Amino acid sequence: MPDTQITAVLIHGAWAGGWVWEAITPYLEERGFRILAPDLPGCGARLGNPAEASIERCVADLEQQLDEIDGPLLLVGHSGGGAVATQLAESIAERVIGVAYLAGMMLPSGTGFGDLVSEMIKDFPEASGIGPFLEWESDGQVSRVQPSAIRNIFLQDVSEQVAEQAIGRFSPQAEGSRALVPHWTQARFGQLPRLYVEALQDRSVVLPVQRRMQQLVPGARVVSLNTGHVPQVAAPEAVADALAEFVSG
């Protein structure tokens, strides 16, 4: 019998890991999803050789894990994980029933997030987001975020307890797996249903930038949540509801 259970492939953003999905996982499981929330190569314990980090390596790593899973896939990208979700969807479009972005980088083909920010920063200085708060090492190949900025830019809308537990789990990130440029075609990724979950109080991927991406890659269904940059932590049940409604049509 074919496996019709949907697997939600949860793709974390820069400096994070699969742990960033822990709060939402039980809500998604209650709604019938199977969960895959891996740590991507190029970050934290999987930092490895920073010079080898790339979007291609992230996609190949996910494809290998998905070889062990049958049935349809919902790709969910948070923040920079959105670019990985796009590239993965392009690669395995036949298996994907939809792509969801949580304050995610839903980018035109051949465009990096830094390109978009550079265009918008004159009119929206806040578009610099987390950029001014990064600390660099390994000749600019690895970055990490100052703890105070994690609290003030990523997690300003969660409790002190939740923030304290999360701050210590953010990790160094290889630039090759952070500055991501997806390449996709209208015939593959372009044909897939998409959901964009706006984070209205986001201080990292600020709302004008989120909405500019929606203009540049039109056609996504949009849900707006009054959260900061990490809605799956701040409002996990609302995000789970949005994802369940999305796949139900």
What is the predicted pLDDT for the residue at 20? 97
Distance CA 227, CA 229 (A): 7
Beta-bridge mates of residue 225: 199
Task: Using CB atoms within 10 Å of the CB of residue 135, give its burial: 0 to 12 exposed, 13 to 18 middle, 19+ buried.
Answer: exposed
Amino acid at the residue 183: H
pTM (2 decimals)?
0.96
What is the predicted pLDDT for the residue at 3? 64
CA distances from 74 to 1, 9, 88, 195, 211 (A): 20, 6, 11, 11, 22
C-beta atoms surrounding 242 within 10 Å: 21
Q: Sheet containing 96-102: which strands, arranged edge to edge?
A: 34-36, 7-11, 73-78, 96-102, 194-199, 221-225
Distance CA 94, CA 160 (A): 43
Q: Are strands 173-174 and 73-78 parallel, antiparallel or unpaired?
A: unpaired
**Which residues of the chain are under the pLDDT cut of 50?**
1
User: Residue 57 has which token pair?
Assistant: 């390596």
What is the predicted pLDDT for the residue at 1? 37
The helix (H) or strand (E) run that includes residue 119 is helix 113-120
Q: What is the DSSP letter of 48?
A: -
Beta-bridge mates of residue 34: 7
